[in-house]
């Protein structure tokens, strides 16, 4: 029964990540999206392994052409395009968020630190890929691919922490077993 429940939660969070991609505000080669909120929530609620599974399903759906990426787009072109590094960064980010949260006794504080670490991973991979792809200087790439998103990601971390605290007892995933 646990396996079935976790599979359903993973599918739901993969779907919510896709919904978060539809809420996009284009500001350059990298749009502002709500996607990260669901990446954070996935790691906090499902842990490292189930969270990784959920994000893998999300990315595979998009690579296969389903319109789950920003702007309702799909296909491999999105992965090799300007946002590909950020998208691929979801995998290690959700794993790290889940792993840190699983190991912590104080889930709330650990969750916030875990999301900060996950965000850093997404930025490192995303900015690096954007720099390689565009040939911009590092400073320009940071100004285009990171700085405009910092305040929004801080807000998403706060919201994800509050949602996780409210949802854990309902979902009965306080300690996600392997």
Architecture of the CATH domain 2-23+31-170: Orthogonal Bundle (1.10)
Query: What pLDDT, in 10s, does the model give residues 143-175?
Result: 999 999 999 999 999 999 999 999 988 887 654
Average pLDDT of the residues in 42-47: 96
Cα Rg of the chain (Å, integer)? 15
- The mean pLDDT of the chain is 92
pTM, full prediction: 0.92
Place of tokens 């505000």: 25
Query: What pLDDT, in 10s, does the model give residues 70-91?
Result: 888 999 998 999 999 999 999 9
pLDDT of 177 higher than 50:
no
The rounded distance, in Å, linking the Cα atoms of 95 and 165 is 19
Domain map (residue ranges) of the chain: 2-23+31-170
**pLDDT score of 173:** 63
């Amino acid at each position: 029964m646990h396996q079935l429940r976790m599979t359903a939660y993973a599918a739901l969070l993969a779907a919510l990540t896709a919904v978060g991609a539809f809420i996009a505000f284009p500001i350059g080669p990298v749009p502002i999206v709500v996607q990260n909120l669901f990446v954070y929530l996935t790691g906090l609620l499902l842990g490292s392994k189930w969270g990784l599974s959920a994000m893998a399903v999300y990315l595979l759906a998009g690579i296969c052409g389903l319109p789950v990426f920003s702007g309702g787009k799909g296909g491999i072109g999105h992965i090799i395009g300007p946002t590909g590094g950020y998208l691929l960064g979801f995998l290690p980010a959700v794993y790290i968020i889940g792993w840190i949260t699983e190991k912590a006794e104080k889930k709330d504080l650990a969750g916030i630190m875990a999301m900060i670490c996950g965000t850093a991973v997404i930025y490192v991979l995303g900015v690096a890929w954007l720099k390689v792809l565009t040939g911009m200087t590092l400073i320009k790439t940071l100004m285009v691919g990171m700085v405009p998103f910092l305040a929004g990601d801080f807000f998403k971390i706060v919201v994800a922490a509050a949602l996780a605290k409210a949802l854990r007892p309902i979902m009965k995933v306080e300690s996600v077993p392997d």
